[in-house]
Protein backbone atom coordinates (compact mmCIF):
# COMPACT_ATOMS: atom_id res chain seq x y z
CA UNK A 1 0.00 0.00 0.00
CA UNK A 2 1.45 3.43 -0.91
CA UNK A 3 2.46 5.64 2.02
CA UNK A 4 0.22 8.60 2.79
CA UNK A 5 1.61 12.06 3.39
CA UNK A 6 0.82 11.71 7.11
CA UNK A 7 2.66 8.40 7.36
CA UNK A 8 5.69 9.84 5.61
CA UNK A 9 5.79 12.91 7.81
CA UNK A 10 5.74 10.66 10.90
CA UNK A 11 8.67 8.64 9.58
CA UNK A 12 10.64 11.79 8.80
CA UNK A 13 9.91 13.16 12.28
CA UNK A 14 11.19 9.92 13.83
CA UNK A 15 14.29 9.90 11.66
CA UNK A 16 15.31 13.53 12.04
CA UNK A 17 13.34 15.15 14.88
CA UNK A 18 13.06 18.92 14.73
CA UNK A 19 13.38 19.28 10.97
CA UNK A 20 10.41 20.85 9.12
CA UNK A 21 8.43 18.58 6.81
CA UNK A 22 8.65 19.71 3.20
CA UNK A 23 5.27 19.56 1.49
CA UNK A 24 5.10 17.85 -1.85
CA UNK A 25 3.90 19.84 -4.82
CA UNK A 26 0.90 18.11 -6.35
CA UNK A 27 1.17 17.78 -10.08
CA UNK A 28 -1.66 17.46 -12.54
CA UNK A 29 -2.33 13.88 -13.48
CA UNK A 30 -1.08 12.78 -16.87
CA UNK A 31 -0.86 9.51 -18.65
CA UNK A 32 1.60 7.32 -16.81
CA UNK A 33 1.57 9.45 -13.69
CA UNK A 34 0.88 8.09 -10.23
CA UNK A 35 -2.57 9.60 -10.36
CA UNK A 36 -3.45 7.81 -13.58
CA UNK A 37 -1.80 4.62 -12.37
CA UNK A 38 -3.86 4.45 -9.21
CA UNK A 39 -4.63 0.98 -8.12
CA UNK A 40 -1.88 -0.69 -10.15
CA UNK A 41 0.32 -1.03 -7.06
CA UNK A 42 3.97 -0.16 -6.68
CA UNK A 43 6.78 -2.09 -5.02
CA UNK A 44 8.10 -0.37 -1.90
CA UNK A 45 11.79 0.41 -2.34
CA UNK A 46 14.22 -0.50 0.44
CA UNK A 47 15.44 2.46 2.53
CA UNK A 48 18.77 3.93 1.55
CA UNK A 49 21.73 2.61 3.60
CA UNK A 50 22.41 5.91 5.37
CA UNK A 51 18.70 6.23 6.24
CA UNK A 52 18.62 2.72 7.72
CA UNK A 53 21.79 3.46 9.68
CA UNK A 54 20.34 6.70 11.07
CA UNK A 55 17.15 4.91 12.12
CA UNK A 56 19.18 2.25 13.90
CA UNK A 57 21.16 4.89 15.80
CA UNK A 58 17.96 6.64 16.89
CA UNK A 59 16.51 3.38 18.19
CA UNK A 60 19.66 2.60 20.18
CA UNK A 61 19.82 6.15 21.49
CA UNK A 62 22.09 6.62 24.53
CA UNK A 63 23.10 2.94 24.43
CA UNK A 64 25.02 3.47 21.20
CA UNK A 65 28.76 3.04 21.62
CA UNK A 66 31.32 3.13 18.82
CA UNK A 67 33.33 -0.06 18.37
CA UNK A 68 36.38 -0.39 20.60
CA UNK A 69 39.61 -1.01 18.66
CA UNK A 70 41.43 -4.23 19.57
CA UNK A 71 44.21 -3.97 22.12
CA UNK A 72 47.60 -5.70 22.11
CA UNK A 73 47.15 -9.09 23.77
CA UNK A 74 50.01 -10.40 25.91
CA UNK A 75 48.73 -13.92 26.57
CA UNK A 76 48.01 -15.81 29.78
CA UNK A 77 50.20 -17.15 32.54
CA UNK A 78 50.98 -20.86 32.50
CA UNK A 79 51.79 -22.65 35.78
CA UNK A 80 54.21 -25.56 35.57
CA UNK A 81 54.19 -26.89 39.14
CA UNK A 82 57.09 -27.88 41.37
CA UNK A 83 59.57 -30.64 40.68
CA UNK A 84 61.82 -32.64 42.97
CA UNK A 85 64.94 -32.10 40.85
CA UNK A 86 65.53 -28.64 39.41
CA UNK A 87 66.04 -28.21 35.67
CA UNK A 88 69.23 -26.22 35.16
CA UNK A 89 69.86 -26.94 31.48
CA UNK A 90 67.89 -24.86 29.00
CA UNK A 91 67.67 -27.83 26.64
CA UNK A 92 65.62 -29.79 29.21
CA UNK A 93 62.81 -27.30 29.88
CA UNK A 94 59.22 -28.33 28.96
CA UNK A 95 57.81 -27.37 25.57
CA UNK A 96 56.06 -24.01 25.68
CA UNK A 97 57.92 -22.82 28.78
CA UNK A 98 59.01 -19.16 28.78
CA UNK A 99 60.70 -16.65 31.08
CA UNK A 100 58.06 -14.00 30.29
CA UNK A 101 55.29 -12.96 32.69
CA UNK A 102 52.39 -11.85 30.44
CA UNK A 103 50.00 -11.24 33.34
CA UNK A 104 52.36 -8.89 35.23
CA UNK A 105 53.46 -5.35 34.50
CA UNK A 106 57.20 -4.81 34.64
CA UNK A 107 56.59 -1.90 37.01
CA UNK A 108 54.77 -4.17 39.50
CA UNK A 109 57.86 -4.67 41.64
CA UNK A 110 56.17 -6.53 44.50
CA UNK A 111 54.32 -8.78 42.04
CA UNK A 112 57.53 -9.54 40.13
CA UNK A 113 59.37 -10.40 43.36
CA UNK A 114 56.59 -12.76 44.41
CA UNK A 115 56.59 -14.36 40.95
CA UNK A 116 60.38 -14.85 40.99
CA UNK A 117 60.07 -16.75 44.27
CA UNK A 118 57.32 -18.90 42.72
CA UNK A 119 59.48 -19.57 39.66
CA UNK A 120 62.46 -20.52 41.81
CA UNK A 121 60.24 -22.94 43.74
CA UNK A 122 59.04 -24.48 40.45
CA UNK A 123 62.64 -25.46 39.77
CA UNK A 124 62.96 -24.52 36.09
CA UNK A 125 66.16 -22.51 35.54
CA UNK A 126 66.09 -21.23 39.14
CA UNK A 127 69.41 -19.37 38.74
CA UNK A 128 67.88 -17.17 36.04
CA UNK A 129 65.02 -16.16 38.32
CA UNK A 130 67.36 -15.69 41.25
CA UNK A 131 69.18 -13.05 39.18
CA UNK A 132 65.87 -11.43 38.23
CA UNK A 133 64.78 -11.52 41.88
CA UNK A 134 67.93 -9.69 42.98
CA UNK A 135 67.29 -7.08 40.29
CA UNK A 136 63.76 -6.33 41.51
CA UNK A 137 64.80 -6.41 45.15
CA UNK A 138 67.38 -3.72 44.32
CA UNK A 139 64.65 -1.61 42.70
CA UNK A 140 62.42 -2.01 45.76
CA UNK A 141 65.30 -1.15 48.07
CA UNK A 142 66.01 1.96 46.00
CA UNK A 143 62.41 3.09 46.53
CA UNK A 144 62.67 2.37 50.26
CA UNK A 145 65.92 4.35 50.45
CA UNK A 146 64.29 7.29 48.66
CA UNK A 147 61.37 7.26 51.11
CA UNK A 148 63.66 6.94 54.14
CA UNK A 149 65.79 9.87 52.96
CA UNK A 150 62.85 12.24 53.50
CA UNK A 151 60.59 13.05 56.47
CA UNK A 152 57.97 10.44 57.35
CA UNK A 153 54.47 10.69 55.97
CA UNK A 154 55.25 12.16 52.56
CA UNK A 155 53.45 10.72 49.54
CA UNK A 156 55.40 8.75 46.95
CA UNK A 157 54.74 11.54 44.42
CA UNK A 158 56.31 14.10 46.76
CA UNK A 159 59.29 11.82 47.44
CA UNK A 160 59.91 11.43 43.70
CA UNK A 161 59.60 15.17 43.18
CA UNK A 162 62.06 15.88 46.00
CA UNK A 163 64.51 13.45 44.45
CA UNK A 164 64.37 15.39 41.17
CA UNK A 165 64.58 18.75 42.93
CA UNK A 166 67.73 17.63 44.77
CA UNK A 167 69.35 16.79 41.44
CA UNK A 168 68.25 20.15 40.03
CA UNK A 169 69.68 21.91 43.07
CA UNK A 170 73.09 20.32 42.49
CA UNK A 171 73.09 21.47 38.86
CA UNK A 172 71.94 24.98 39.81
CA UNK A 173 74.80 25.29 42.29
CA UNK A 174 77.14 24.99 39.32
CA UNK A 175 75.22 27.48 37.15
CA UNK A 176 71.99 29.39 37.80
CA UNK A 177 71.37 31.78 34.92
CA UNK A 178 67.64 32.03 35.67
CA UNK A 179 68.17 32.67 39.43
CA UNK A 180 66.00 29.75 40.49
CA UNK A 181 68.04 28.12 43.25
CA UNK A 182 66.13 30.04 45.94
CA UNK A 183 62.85 28.73 44.51
CA UNK A 184 64.09 25.14 44.53
CA UNK A 185 65.21 25.46 48.16
CA UNK A 186 61.89 26.98 49.22
CA UNK A 187 59.83 24.38 47.36
CA UNK A 188 61.79 21.48 48.89
CA UNK A 189 61.27 23.00 52.35
CA UNK A 190 57.53 23.40 51.66
CA UNK A 191 57.21 19.76 50.58
CA UNK A 192 59.16 18.46 53.57
CA UNK A 193 57.16 20.53 56.05
CA UNK A 194 53.91 19.36 54.35
CA UNK A 195 52.88 22.94 53.63
CA UNK A 196 52.86 21.87 49.99
CA UNK A 197 51.60 18.63 48.47
CA UNK A 198 51.78 17.35 44.93
CA UNK A 199 48.30 17.32 43.40
CA UNK A 200 47.82 16.58 39.72
CA UNK A 201 46.39 19.58 37.88
CA UNK A 202 47.30 22.16 40.56
CA UNK A 203 50.26 24.54 40.42
CA UNK A 204 51.94 27.08 42.68
CA UNK A 205 53.77 30.24 41.58
CA UNK A 206 57.09 31.20 43.17
CA UNK A 207 59.36 34.22 42.85
CA UNK A 208 62.84 34.38 44.39
CA UNK A 209 62.01 31.80 47.04
CA UNK A 210 58.57 33.11 48.00
CA UNK A 211 55.13 31.66 47.23
CA UNK A 212 53.15 34.29 45.34
CA UNK A 213 50.01 32.33 44.35
CA UNK A 214 48.37 28.92 44.55
CA UNK A 215 47.86 26.06 44.76
CA UNK A 216 45.27 26.38 42.01
CA UNK A 217 44.53 25.26 38.48
CA UNK A 218 46.76 26.94 35.97
CA UNK A 219 45.17 29.92 34.28
CA UNK A 220 47.36 31.11 31.45
CA UNK A 221 46.23 34.73 31.75
CA UNK A 222 47.18 34.73 35.43
CA UNK A 223 50.46 33.04 34.54
CA UNK A 224 51.33 35.81 32.08
CA UNK A 225 50.27 38.51 34.54
CA UNK A 226 52.35 37.10 37.41
CA UNK A 227 55.30 36.57 35.11
CA UNK A 228 55.12 40.21 34.02
CA UNK A 229 54.71 41.43 37.60
CA UNK A 230 57.57 39.48 39.18
CA UNK A 231 59.93 39.33 36.21
CA UNK A 232 61.40 36.53 34.14
CA UNK A 233 64.34 35.88 36.47
CA UNK A 234 63.66 33.85 39.57
CA UNK A 235 60.12 32.92 38.51
CA UNK A 236 58.97 29.30 38.90
CA UNK A 237 55.74 27.34 38.37
CA UNK A 238 55.73 24.21 40.53
CA UNK A 239 53.48 21.42 39.24
CA UNK A 240 53.86 22.50 35.61
CA UNK A 241 55.18 18.99 34.92
CA UNK A 242 54.79 15.70 36.75
CA UNK A 243 56.70 14.69 39.89
CA UNK A 244 59.47 13.20 37.75
CA UNK A 245 61.37 14.90 34.96
CA UNK A 246 59.75 14.35 31.59
CA UNK A 247 61.59 12.39 28.92
CA UNK A 248 62.37 14.71 26.05
CA UNK A 249 62.79 11.98 23.47
CA UNK A 250 62.10 13.88 20.69
CA UNK A 251 46.03 -3.77 13.99
CA UNK A 252 45.82 -2.93 17.56
CA UNK A 253 45.47 0.27 19.46
CA UNK A 254 47.67 1.65 22.22
CA UNK A 255 45.93 3.69 24.88
CA UNK A 256 47.89 6.58 26.38
CA UNK A 257 49.36 5.27 29.64
CA UNK A 258 48.66 8.61 31.35
CA UNK A 259 45.21 10.09 30.56
CA UNK A 260 45.67 13.30 28.61
CA UNK A 261 49.31 12.59 27.79
CA UNK A 262 49.76 10.93 24.40
CA UNK A 263 52.63 8.60 25.31
CA UNK A 264 52.22 4.92 24.66
CA UNK A 265 53.69 1.67 25.94
CA UNK A 266 54.05 -1.22 23.50
CA UNK A 267 55.22 -4.79 24.01
CA UNK A 268 58.02 -5.65 21.58
CA UNK A 269 59.46 -9.15 21.21
CA UNK A 270 63.23 -9.42 20.80
CA UNK A 271 65.58 -12.31 20.01
CA UNK A 272 69.26 -12.97 19.50
CA UNK A 273 69.98 -12.91 15.72
CA UNK A 274 73.04 -15.12 16.25
CA UNK A 275 70.73 -18.05 17.05
CA UNK A 276 67.93 -17.21 14.58
CA UNK A 277 67.93 -20.76 13.19
CA UNK A 278 67.02 -22.27 16.58
CA UNK A 279 65.09 -19.48 18.31
CA UNK A 280 61.74 -20.39 19.87
CA UNK A 281 59.44 -18.54 22.27
CA UNK A 282 61.67 -19.72 25.11
CA UNK A 283 64.57 -17.64 23.74
CA UNK A 284 62.28 -14.65 23.12
CA UNK A 285 61.81 -11.73 25.51
CA UNK A 286 58.53 -9.80 25.41
CA UNK A 287 59.46 -6.40 26.85
CA UNK A 288 57.63 -3.15 27.44
CA UNK A 289 58.88 -0.11 25.50
CA UNK A 290 57.94 3.53 25.23
CA UNK A 291 56.74 3.92 21.62
CA UNK A 292 58.98 6.89 20.90
CA UNK A 293 59.15 8.52 17.48
CA UNK A 294 61.88 10.87 18.67
CA UNK A 295 64.39 8.11 19.45
CA UNK A 296 66.40 7.24 16.36
CA UNK A 297 67.72 4.07 18.02
CA UNK A 298 66.08 1.39 20.12
CA UNK A 299 67.22 1.56 23.76
CA UNK A 300 67.67 -1.56 25.92
CA UNK A 301 69.10 -2.17 29.38
CA UNK A 302 72.17 -4.23 30.22
CA UNK A 303 69.82 -6.60 32.05
CA UNK A 304 67.96 -7.31 28.80
CA UNK A 305 71.22 -8.16 27.03
CA UNK A 306 72.19 -10.46 29.90
CA UNK A 307 68.83 -12.27 29.76
CA UNK A 308 68.91 -12.66 25.96
CA UNK A 309 72.45 -14.02 25.96
CA UNK A 310 71.70 -16.40 28.82
CA UNK A 311 68.57 -17.83 27.21
CA UNK A 312 70.02 -18.07 23.69
CA UNK A 313 73.40 -19.36 24.80
CA UNK A 314 75.29 -16.92 22.57
CA UNK A 315 76.50 -13.31 22.80
CA UNK A 316 74.55 -10.60 21.01
CA UNK A 317 76.31 -9.20 17.94
CA UNK A 318 78.06 -5.94 18.80
CA UNK A 319 78.19 -2.92 16.49
CA UNK A 320 80.78 -0.89 18.38
CA UNK A 321 80.42 2.22 20.54
CA UNK A 322 79.04 5.68 19.92
CA UNK A 323 78.49 8.93 21.77
CA UNK A 324 74.99 9.87 22.88
CA UNK A 325 73.90 13.34 23.95
CA UNK A 326 71.99 13.29 27.25
CA UNK A 327 70.84 15.89 29.75
CA UNK A 328 74.10 15.32 31.63
CA UNK A 329 76.29 15.72 28.56
CA UNK A 330 77.80 13.17 26.21
CA UNK A 331 78.26 9.56 27.26
CA UNK A 332 79.57 6.47 25.53
CA UNK A 333 77.09 3.71 24.78
CA UNK A 334 77.46 0.24 23.31
CA UNK A 335 75.46 -0.80 20.25
CA UNK A 336 74.06 -4.32 19.93
CA UNK A 337 71.94 -5.91 17.20
CA UNK A 338 68.70 -7.74 18.03
CA UNK A 339 65.82 -9.21 16.06
CA UNK A 340 62.46 -7.56 16.76
CA UNK A 341 58.80 -8.24 16.05
CA UNK A 342 55.39 -7.30 17.48
CA UNK A 343 52.79 -9.90 18.38
CA UNK A 344 49.01 -9.68 18.54
CA UNK A 345 48.16 -12.69 20.67
CA UNK A 346 50.25 -15.50 19.20
CA UNK A 347 50.42 -13.97 15.72
CA UNK A 348 53.33 -11.76 14.59
CA UNK A 349 52.43 -8.59 12.70
CA UNK A 350 55.57 -8.98 10.58
CA UNK A 351 56.18 -12.20 8.62
CA UNK A 352 59.94 -11.85 9.12
CA UNK A 353 61.84 -10.69 12.17
CA UNK A 354 63.58 -7.32 11.73
CA UNK A 355 67.22 -6.71 12.62
CA UNK A 356 67.44 -3.57 14.78
CA UNK A 357 70.43 -1.75 16.28
CA UNK A 358 69.93 -1.07 19.99
CA UNK A 359 71.78 1.26 22.35
CA UNK A 360 72.50 -0.46 25.65
CA UNK A 361 71.97 1.63 28.79
CA UNK A 362 73.30 0.71 32.25
CA UNK A 363 71.00 -1.51 34.27
CA UNK A 364 68.41 0.51 36.18
CA UNK A 365 69.15 0.96 39.88
CA UNK A 366 65.68 2.33 40.51
CA UNK A 367 62.65 3.45 38.57
CA UNK A 368 64.51 4.18 35.37
CA UNK A 369 63.01 5.61 32.17
CA UNK A 370 61.33 3.14 29.84
CA UNK A 371 63.08 1.32 27.06
CA UNK A 372 62.67 3.21 23.78
CA UNK A 373 61.22 1.56 20.69
CA UNK A 374 63.08 3.64 18.09
CA UNK A 375 61.79 4.32 14.59
CA UNK A 376 61.89 0.83 13.04
CA UNK A 377 58.16 0.27 13.70
CA UNK A 378 57.32 3.26 11.50
CA UNK A 379 59.40 1.80 8.66
CA UNK A 380 57.69 -1.59 8.79
CA UNK A 381 54.05 -1.05 9.83
CA UNK A 382 51.18 1.39 9.49
CA UNK A 383 51.12 3.70 12.52
CA UNK A 384 48.09 5.96 12.80
CA UNK A 385 47.01 8.61 15.27
CA UNK A 386 43.81 10.59 14.93
CA UNK A 387 42.44 13.88 16.30
CA UNK A 388 39.65 11.99 18.13
CA UNK A 389 40.52 13.11 21.70
CA UNK A 390 41.39 9.54 22.79
CA UNK A 391 45.20 9.86 22.45
CA UNK A 392 45.17 6.33 20.99
CA UNK A 393 47.79 5.13 18.54
CA UNK A 394 46.86 2.38 16.09
CA UNK A 395 49.43 -0.09 14.69
CA UNK A 396 48.81 -2.71 12.01
CA UNK A 397 49.95 -4.34 8.79
CA UNK A 398 46.77 -3.77 6.73
CA UNK A 399 45.76 -0.16 6.12
CA UNK A 400 42.34 -1.06 4.72
CA UNK A 401 41.56 -3.25 7.71
CA UNK A 402 42.50 -0.41 10.04
CA UNK A 403 40.47 2.28 8.31
CA UNK A 404 37.59 -0.12 7.84
CA UNK A 405 37.30 -0.54 11.61
CA UNK A 406 38.28 2.90 12.87
CA UNK A 407 35.92 5.84 13.04
CA UNK A 408 37.35 8.81 11.14
CA UNK A 409 36.90 11.87 13.38
CA UNK A 410 36.13 15.49 12.61
CA UNK A 411 39.45 17.25 13.22
CA UNK A 412 37.68 20.52 13.97
CA UNK A 413 36.45 18.94 17.22
CA UNK A 414 39.96 18.04 18.42
CA UNK A 415 40.92 19.29 21.89
CA UNK A 416 44.52 20.53 22.42
CA UNK A 417 46.61 19.01 25.24
CA UNK A 418 46.23 20.44 28.70
CA UNK A 419 48.64 22.88 30.28
CA UNK A 420 50.27 21.81 32.53
CA UNK A 421 51.06 18.30 31.33
CA UNK A 422 49.37 15.48 33.26
CA UNK A 423 51.31 13.66 35.94
CA UNK A 424 53.95 11.23 34.72
CA UNK A 425 53.69 7.82 36.39
Cβ atoms within 10 A of the Cβ of 396, count?
Answer: 23
Cβ atoms within 10 A of the Cβ of 412, count?
Answer: 6
Where is 119: in which H helix or E strand? Answer: helix 109-122
Q: What confidence category does residue 36 fall into, taking pLDDT thresholds of 50, 70 and 90?
A: very low
Treating both helix axes as pointing N-terminal to C-terminal, what angle do 126-148 and 156-174 enclose, rounded to 10 degrees?
70
Higher pLDDT residue, 350 or 194? 194
Query: According to the model, what pLDDT value does residue 406 have?
Result: 79
- Position 136 pLDDT exceeds 90: yes
Query: According to the model, what pLDDT value does residue 44 have?
Result: 57
CA distance 126 to 132: 10
- Position 222 pLDDT exceeds 70: yes
Peptide bond between residue 420 and the one before it cis (omega within 30 degrees of 0) = yes
Of the candidates 191, 182, 105, the residue with the CA atom closest to the CA atom of residue 151: 191
Taking only the tens place, the pLDDT of each residue in 376-419 is 888 888 888 888 887 788 888 888 777 777 778 888 888 887 76
The DSSP string of 21-38 is PPPPPPPPP-TTSTTTTT
CA distance 351 to 397: 10
CA distance 288 to 373: 9
- Cα dihedral 379, 380, 386, 391 in deg (nearest 10): -90
CA distance 156 to 73: 30
Taking only the tens place, the pLDDT of each residue in 162-192 is 998 998 898 889 888 888 999 999 999 999 9
For the chain, list the domains and their CATH numbers: 90-148 (no CATH), 156-238 (no CATH), 252-413 (2.40.70.10)
Q: 84: burial class by Cβ within 10 Å (0-12, 13-18, 19+)? A: exposed
CA distance 208 to 192: 19
- Position 230 pLDDT exceeds 50: yes
Query: According to the model, what pLDDT value does residue 249 have?
Result: 32
Sign of dihedral through CA atoms 363, 366, 369, 370?
positive
> Are the C-beta atoms of 90 and 282 separated by less than 8 Å?
yes
Most confident of 144-153, 160-169, 312-321, 326-335: 144-153
Sign of dihedral through CA atoms 147, 248, 198, 164?
positive
Of the candidates 71, 57, 53, 50, the residue with the CA atom closest to the CA atom of residue 266: 71
Taking only the tens place, the pLDDT of each residue in 38-96 is 445 555 555 555 566 666 656 666 665 555 666 666 778 888 999 989 999 988 999 98
Sign of dihedral through CA atoms 280, 281, 283, 284?
positive
Of the candidates 369, 378, 300, 303, the residue with the CA atom closest to the CA atom of residue 338: 300
Strands (E), 90-209: 202-207
Share of the chain above pLDDT 90, in %: 25
- Position 324 pLDDT exceeds 80: no
Most confident of 60-74, 147-161, 308-322: 147-161
Most confident of 272-281, 403-412, 415-424: 272-281
Residue range 332-350: mean pLDDT, rounded: 82
Mean pLDDT (the chain, rounded):
77
Which residues have C-beta within 8 Å of that of residue 393, sequence separation ≥ 6? 253, 254, 262, 264, 291, 383, 384, 385
> Are the C-beta atoms of 341 and 269 separated by less than 8 Å?
yes
Amino acid sequence: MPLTRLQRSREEAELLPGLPVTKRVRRAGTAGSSASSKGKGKAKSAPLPHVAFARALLKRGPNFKPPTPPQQIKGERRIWGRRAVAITNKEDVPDGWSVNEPDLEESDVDGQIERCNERIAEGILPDFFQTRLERYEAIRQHKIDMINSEPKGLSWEVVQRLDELKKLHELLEEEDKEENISNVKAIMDAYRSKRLSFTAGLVTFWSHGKLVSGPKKLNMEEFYALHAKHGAKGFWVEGFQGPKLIQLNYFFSLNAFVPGWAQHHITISIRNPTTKATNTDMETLHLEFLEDTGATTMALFENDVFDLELMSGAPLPGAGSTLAQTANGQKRIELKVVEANIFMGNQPLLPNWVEVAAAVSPKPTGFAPARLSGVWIHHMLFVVSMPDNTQRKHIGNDMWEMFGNLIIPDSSLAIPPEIPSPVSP
